[in-house]
A and B are shown apart, each in its own frame.
Chain A
Amino acid sequence: MEIFELTIHQLHEKLKKKELSSVEATTAMLSRIKATDEKINAFITICEDGALAAAKEADSRIAKGDGALLTGIPLALKDIFLTKGVKTTCGSKILGNFVPPYSSTAWSKLEEQGAVLLGKLNQDEFAMGSSSEGSAFGPTRNPWNTDCIPGGSSGGSGAAVAAQQAIATLGTDTGGSIRQPASHCGCVGLKPTYGRVSRYGVIAYASSLDQVGPMTRDVRDAAIMLGAIAGYDPADSTSVDRPVPDYTTALIPDVKGLKIGLPKEYYIDGLDADVKKAMDLAIETYRGLGAEFVDISLPHTDYAVACYYLIATAEASSNLARYDGVRFGHRTEDAAALKEMYMKSRAEGFGTEVKRRIMLGTYALSSGYYDAYYIKAQKVRTLIMQDFLKAFETVDLILTPVAPTPAFKIGEKVSDPLQMYLSDIFTIPVNLAGTCGMSIPAGMSSTGLPIGLQLIGRPFGEETIIRAGYAFEQATQWHRMKAVL
């Protein structure tokens, strides 16, 4: 097995037993990135010197017997996470030269453990998109088929795991941006419950929905990463003050007696045949393992996309007001007065999708439309949350597809934003409800593209979906399949 194919837990064992050093592992990852990234474009920034220095430090920590689970593990981050001294663009021209003066809490926690930062990963600009085509630094390509999108917005984070350029990565998920690329790239993607992981130092898109989570090769790695980044942070007042369990104790290959809900609104006629087949097989697998299935209804599912695109764009229009060319980011060279400077700096710095969402959100918040659009959407959000709470009175978790189709072709949906928005139809409701969801590999399309299944848990029910995901993984081989580059 090549070094770059290892999981976190496998590499950790090798580092601990001194079969391998972190410098060797990091060097192997850096050459893998160099050999493959021309095809994939998963990285915006590669931190060669910093990574090797961190690896050296990790090796001395391990030599002293002071190693943690992530000490010396080469990771990469979506370029939405602030990393002190390392350029952070959020996929945007407006932050093209931005070097943050501090780090996000999520990265600081990994860094304290001695993790190695390989680089910063491509994404849709400001995390607005489902295909990673919206990056100012060119599209990322799917390692399974480079004509296809890797999903988005954390497309670089999914592609880097699938292309074996990083052992694991972090992404963010506002409407599916971890789970959908995980599904399209054949890796594990976990979106924790809202409030579980601090967003301090994570560039904001829609603050009532954004959440940080891991993208990994298997469920055990996702449990390790979640345990490392979760927890209350005084610097993020929306993070929740409750104890962080050892998620690896939830890795039990047993689902006997678990009640799994199948929402009828997710198993619709328009579902792709290969996706349908993968879901049927997954249900059969779980049944064989002793899980019990219950037909449920989430009656307001059909309203989720509309609800999301009002709430998310409204919050985005407010959050992105800070990019005004005054304190950081791009400033136009051609403005005589302040207002003109604002308008031109923003027009030059933002890409089309970001402008479209700012426009839509500003409209939804503007005088005369606020009640009809924004408040209405917040009320519908209540109904969607209630759907989930009611379902969780009778089931322990919910099983659905992640996306209605496997990865689509680059360029296929660029000209029709509404069609692009509808590709998030199965992931958006989880963000609106504020609960947790995980995508795990569960099949292959007839054209050789991965298909993921989504396990949705109760708020703070990460242990249940980790247990169910792990049991499925132990019973199947999908997570072992590798993209050939």
Chain B
Amino acid sequence: MRITQKEVEHVATLARLKLGPEEITTFTSQMDAILSYVDKLSELNTDDIVPTSHAVPMENAFRADEVRPSLGTDGALANAPDRVEGFFRVPKVIE
């Protein structure tokens, strides 16, 4: 096994996903199969290869720090599940 049920539970917490026991079991076996498959990458010696994070060679993209029109409070809050006085409202943060 490349991944255990306990590891899958840990990853689910990292990913902020509440998974049920059935999902944990299914994902454990499916992720195990996928990880076995991707292990084929270890056949390749990549010691001297530079990783590619971006397909097009590009320098940092800078722009002038200027004030421009933006959505505004109402636009930004238009899809908020819960709002109060120009803020997003969430359940209590400290448990």
* Chain A contacts to B: CB under 8 angstroms: 97-99, 101-102, 193-195, 208-209, 234, 237-238, 240, 300, 302-303, 305-307, 309-310, 317, 321, 324-331, 335-344, 346-347, 350, 352, 355-356, 358-360, 362-363, 366, 373, 375-383, 385, 417-418, 421, 432-435, 459
Contacts and interface: CB of A to CB of B under 8 A. Distances in A.
Contact of A306 (B38, B46, B88): B38
Nearest to B42: A376
Q: Which one of B8, B12, B82 has the highest number of Cβ atoms from chain A below 10 Å of its Cβ?
A: B12
B49 A379 contact: yes
A234 to B, nearest CB: 7
Nearest to B36: A418
A99 B78 contact: yes
Interface of B: 3, 7-8, 11-19, 23, 27, 30-31, 33-35, 37-44, 46, 49-56, 58, 61, 63, 71, 75-76, 78-82, 88, 90-93, 95
Contacts of A342: 16
B18 A359 contact: no
Contacts of B58: 195, 238, 240
A342 B91 CA distance: 10
Task: Give the interface SS of chain B, mostly helix, strand, loop or mixed.
Answer: loop
A363 B11 contact: yes
Nearest to A367: B14
A379 B54 contact: no
A327 B54 CA distance: 29
Nearest to A459: B56
A346 B56 contact: no
A99 B77 CA distance: 11
B54 A208 contact: yes
Contact of A346 (B18, B40, B53, B93): B18
A335 B81 CA distance: 13
A237 B91 CA distance: 35
Contacts of A331: 81-82
Contacts of B88: 326-327
A183 to B, nearest CB: 23
A459 B53 CA distance: 16
A336 B92 contact: yes
A358 B90 CA distance: 24
B3 A363 contact: yes
B79 A338 contact: no
A329 B35 CA distance: 31
B47 to A, nearest CB: 9
Contacts of B91: 335-338, 340-341
Contact of B34 (A238, A360, A433): A360
Nearest to B49: A379
A343 to B, nearest CB: 4
A343 B55 CA distance: 34
Contacts of B23: 352, 355
A82 to B, nearest CB: 11
B50 A418 contact: no
B40 A238 contact: no
